[in-house]
């Protein structure tokens, strides 16, 4: 079992580029595989999650060449995928499983999706139900979990669907199925969620109309190959934003970070807490805004996190809870019940670990109440959740004693090279197998 030993203290300095955006990397493989022509992808995240998506498309007959972060995808067209010879293993990735399920529901061949222990407990009915109402035939385990089996040749019909929860995975799953459906698919979201699918579909020449909370897209549109530059992942950059904020005398520059407005909740929440964050050098890269982010140490204060920011920072809460633990006063999060069905129950996992470190953190049904205080040291569990492991590594910057974090191998799902990059930036982490 890989564990991280984090020595207390340290300060952040220098300029780093964190790996490519996970959400955009998954989508870049999916859409370029079903496009007509050859697409080149640079900045691709070579983490386990997005590589599982890549392997799935290779197993469906797509020729994909990889060379040091440069990916060349020989698209087979909307109807060109072939039946995979084996079950497709999505590992730890909810995004891969839910997005592929939508796409596979529209194929003329049968397929099966499996995942690791964590993924096999995550709720899939949120995608199975709308897909079934489009005509898909999907088999799942009791309670709607993976392994999933998908029947081919289902002749999907477009759907008009109000999403019951703010989920970009569910939205994207339905849009991908909608590509294979007769008629116009309409999805309405209860709150804005990341819109990488819509932006990238447009980049591949699809007509996708977003109007307020509604997205409309006609089925059976063909995609034209295009080149994609994947920005650095704001969700990975977030660990360093909090790190530089809480560690005294720190200043770090994070290069080429994607700041799609549906992902910038972490910046807004940290600024409300008093963080010193500046954005420079704004560019538009393939329909996605990108900036360099500079973060300096600041005295943080506890806040009531505005509910509307929750879906826009959904993956950043583990490390935001560490910021809250280092802030003056109390931080209150509500409306975040989705955190309980991520790679782990992130509310419970963080509360348990923060309590072990000496912080008063009290979970609620849909959030948490954290009283800023002194972080001691101790042994915490990541529950195999990459973001919990990295969040507690950041906590060591303000801890009095060593923090040992168990079960950290899954950091490779989203952030290969985390220990090296974080060590170069100033954290004191050693990884042990």
Residue 229: active-site member: no
Handedness of CA 284, 286, 289, 292 (dihedral sign): negative
| Closest to ligand S3P by CB, 33 or 167 | 167
Using CB under 6 A as the binding criterion, the count of chain residues that bind ligand S3P stands at 11
| 118 is a contact residue toward ligand S3P (CB under 6 A) | no
- Residue 95 or 107: which CB sits closer to ligand S3P? 95
User: Which residue(s) pair with 232 in the sheet?
Assistant: 20, 257
Nearer residue to ligand S3P within complex by CB, 230 or 246: 230
Distance of CA 122 to the CA centre of its chain: 15
Contacts of 295 (CB under 8 A, 6+ apart): 12, 240, 241, 244, 245, 250, 251, 252, 254, 275, 276, 277
Near ligand S3P by CB under 6 A: residue from 23, 52, 154, 236: 23
Identify residues 326-365 at the interface with ligand S3P (CB under 6 A). Answer: 338
Give the nearest distance from C-beta 72 to ligand S3P in angstroms: 23
Site string for ligand S3P, 160-189 (x = CB under 6 A): -------xxx--x-----------------
Nearer to ligand S3P, 173 or 298 (CB): 173
Residue 185's nearest CA partner among 222, 154, 223, 216 is 216
Nearest alpha carbon to residue 427 among 275, 322, 321: 322
The span from the first CA to the last CA of the chain, in angstroms, equals 6
**27 or 398: whose CB is closer to ligand S3P?**
27
Contacts (CB under 6 A) with ligand S3P, residues 289-328: 314-315
E-strand ranges in 238-388 read 251-258, 276-285, 288-296, 330-333, 360-364, 367-371, 378-381
Give the CA count within 13 Å in the CB-facing half-sphere of 375. Answer: 32
Instruction: Kindly name the residue from 315, 360, 385, 433 that is annotated as catalytic.
Output: 315
CB of 172 to ligand S3P, least distance (A): 6
Active site residues: 315
Binding region for ligand S3P (CB under 6 A): 23, 95, 167-169, 172, 193-194, 314-315, 338
């Amino acid at each position: 079992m890989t564990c991280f030993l984090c020595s207390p203290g340290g300060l952040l300095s220098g300029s780093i580029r964190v790996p490519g955006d996970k959400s955009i990397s998954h989508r870049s493989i999916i859409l370029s595989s079903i496009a007509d022509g050859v697409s080149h992808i640079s900045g691709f995240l070579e983490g386990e999650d997005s590589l599982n998506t890549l392997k799935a498309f290779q197993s469906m007959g797509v020729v994909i060449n990889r060379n040091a972060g440069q990916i060349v995808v020989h698209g087979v067209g909307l109807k060109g995928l072939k039946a995979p010879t084996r079950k497709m293993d999505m590992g730890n990735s909810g995004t891969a499983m839910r997005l592929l399920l939508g796409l596979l529901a529209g194929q003329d061949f049968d397929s099966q999706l499996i995942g690791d222990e964590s993924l096999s407990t995550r709720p899939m009915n949120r995608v199975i139900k709308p897909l079934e109402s489009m005509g898909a035939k999907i088999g799942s385990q009791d309670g709607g979990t993976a392994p999933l089996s998908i029947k081919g040749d289902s002749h999907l019909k477009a759907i008009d669907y109000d999403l019951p929860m703010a989920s970009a995975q569910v939205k994207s799953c339905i849009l991908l199925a909608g590509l294979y459906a007769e008629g116009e698919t309409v999805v309405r979201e209860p709150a804005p969620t990341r819109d990488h699918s819509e932006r990238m579909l447009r980049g591949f020449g699809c007509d996708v109309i977003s109007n307020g909370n509604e997205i409309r897209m006609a089925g059976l549109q063909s995609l034209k190959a295009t080149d994609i530059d994947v920005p650095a992942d704001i969700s990975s950059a977030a660990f360093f934003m909090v790190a530089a904020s809480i560690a005294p005398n720190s200043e770090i520059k994070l290069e080429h970070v994607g700041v799609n407005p549906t992902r910038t909740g972490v910046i807004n929440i940290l600024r409300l807490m008093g963080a010193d964050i500046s954005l420079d050098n704004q560019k538009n890269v393939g329909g996605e805004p990108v900036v360099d982010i500079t973060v300096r140490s600041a005295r943080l204060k506890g806040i009531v996190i505005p509910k509307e920011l929750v879906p826009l920072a959904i993956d950043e809460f583990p490390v935001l809870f560490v910021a809250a633990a280092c802030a003056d006063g109390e931080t209150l999060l509500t409306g975040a019940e989705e955190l309980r069905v991520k790679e782990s129950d992130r509310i419970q996992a963080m509360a348990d670990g923060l309590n072990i470190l000496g912080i008063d953190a009290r979970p609620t049904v849909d959030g948490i109440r954290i009283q800023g205080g002194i972080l001691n040291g101790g042994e915490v569990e990541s529950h195999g959740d990459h973001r919990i492991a990295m969040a507690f590594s950041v906590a060591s910057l303000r801890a009095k004693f060593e923090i040992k974090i168990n079960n950290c191998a899954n950091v490779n799902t989203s952030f290969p090279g985390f220990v090296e990059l974080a060590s170069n930036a100033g954290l004191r982490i050693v990884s042990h197998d």
